Amino acid sequence: MGHATLIIEERKDIELRSWSAAPGNTFYIHVPIIADQKLCREYNIIPHPPKTIIGKVQVVGVKEYTNSKDFAEDYPRHHCKSFEKYDYGFILDNMKKVEPPIENIQGKRFFFYL
- Domain residues for the domain of 24 are 2-102
pLDDT tens series, the chain, 114 aa: 689 999 999 999 999 999 998 899 888 999 988 878 888 899 999 888 999 999 999 999 999 999 999 999 999 999 998 898 899 999 999 999 999 999 999 887 777 666
Closest to 56 (Cα-Cα) out of 2, 103, 101, 11: 101
In this structure, is residue 108 part of a structural domain?
no
* Domain CATH code at residue 46: 2.30.130.30
In this structure, is residue 109 part of a structural domain?
no
User: Which residues, other chains included, contact 106 with Cβ-Cβ below 8 Å and sequence gap of 6+?
Assistant: 51
Q: How many domains are there within the chain? A: 1
In this structure, is residue 15 part of a structural domain?
yes
Q: What is the spatial distance between Cα 24 and Cα 84, in angstroms, rounded to a whole number?
A: 26
